[in-house]
Structure 1
Amino acid sequence: MTTSKQALPPVVSTATWQKELAALRIREKAVTRELDSVAAQRRRLPMTEMPDYVLEGEDGPVRLAEIFGEHPQLIVYNHMWHDGAEWQCPGCTGFTTQFTRLLGLEKFGARFVIVTQGPIDQALAYKRRVGNAMAWYSTANSSFGSDVGAPPDAGFAVNVFLRDGDTVYRTWHTDGRGTEQLSHLFGLIDVLPYGRQEVWQESPEGWPQAPAYSKWATSQEIAAAYGEDK
Structure 2
Amino acid sequence: MTIENAPEPVIADRTTFEAELAELRTREKAHTRAGDAIAAARRRLPVVEVDPTTPLIGANGPVPLIDTFEGRHQLITYYFMWHHGRPAPEQCEGCTWNNTQLDELSYVHSRDITYAVFCQGPYEESRRYHDFMNWTMPWYSAQDSLETLLVGRQIGMMHVVCYLRRGDRVFETYWTNGRGVEAVDINYRLIDLTIFGRQEPWEDSPEGWPRNQWETDPSVVDVHPFRTNGRPIAHWSRIHAGRSDDLS
Is the shorter-chain TM-score for this pair beyond 0.5, marking a shared fold?
yes
Give the match for residue 13 of structure 1.
Answer: 13
Inter-partner Cα distance in structure 1 for 2:193 and 2:114: 29
Inter-partner Cα distance in structure 2 for 1:190 and 1:43: 27
1:41-72: CA deviation from partner (whole Å, max 9, x where unpaired):
00000000001201100111111111101210
Which secondary structure does the structure 2 equivalent of 1:37 belong to? helix
Picking from 225, 228, 235, the partner of 1:223 is 235
Unaligned runs of 5+ in 1: none
Deviation at 1:104, TM superposition (A): 0.6
Inter-partner Cα distance in structure 1 for 2:163 and 2:235: 30
The normalised TM-score by structure 2 is 0.85
1:79 touches 1:116 (CA, 8 Å); kept in 2?
A: yes
Percent of residue pairs bearing the same amino acid type: 36
Give the match for residue 35 of structure 1.
Answer: 35
Aligned length: 225
Label 1:156 to 1:148 Cα distance change in 2 as closer, same or farther (>3 A): farther
Picking from 117, 121, 124, the partner of 1:121 is 124
Give the match for residue 22 of structure 1.
Answer: 22
Label 1:72 to 1:147 Cα distance change in 2 as closer, same or farther (>3 A): same
Deviation at 1:217, TM superposition (A): 3.3
Inter-partner Cα distance in structure 2 for 1:24 and 1:207: 20
Deviation at 1:148, TM superposition (A): 7.0
Which secondary structure does the structure 2 equivalent of 1:56 belong to? strand
1:97 touches 1:133 (CA, 8 Å); kept in 2?
A: no
Give the match for residue 70 of structure 1.
Answer: 71
1:148 touches 1:159 (CA, 8 Å); kept in 2?
A: no
Label 1:67 to 1:46 Cα distance change in 2 as closer, same or farther (>3 A): same
Alignment of 1:45-194 (within 5 A): 45-51=45-51, 52-86=53-87, 87-143=90-146, 144-147=148-151, 149=153, 151=155, 154-194=156-196
Which secondary structure does the structure 1 equivalent of 2:143 belong to? coil
1:186-208: CA deviation from partner (whole Å, max 9, x where unpaired):
10010010001111111011110
Moved more, 195-204 or 209-218: 209-218
Moved more, 180-189 or 31-40: 180-189
Deviation at 1:150, TM superposition (A): 5.1
What letter corresponds to residue 61 of structure 2 in structure 1? G
Q: CA RMSD in A?
A: 1.8
Structure 1 stretches of 4+ moved >6 Å? none
Inter-partner Cα distance in structure 2 for 1:54 and 1:139: 8
Moved more, 162-171 or 79-88: 79-88
Alignment of 1:187-226 (within 5 A): 187-211=189-213, 212=215, 214-217=224-227, 219-226=231-238
Label 1:165 to 1:44 Cα distance change in 2 as closer, same or farther (>3 A): same
Unaligned runs of 5+ in 2: 216-222, 244-248
Which secondary structure does the structure 1 equivalent of 2:226 belong to? coil
Inter-partner Cα distance in structure 2 for 1:160 and 1:14: 45
1:150 touches 1:157 (CA, 8 Å); kept in 2?
A: no
The normalised TM-score by structure 1 is 0.91
Label 1:16 to 1:55 Cα distance change in 2 as closer, same or farther (>3 A): same
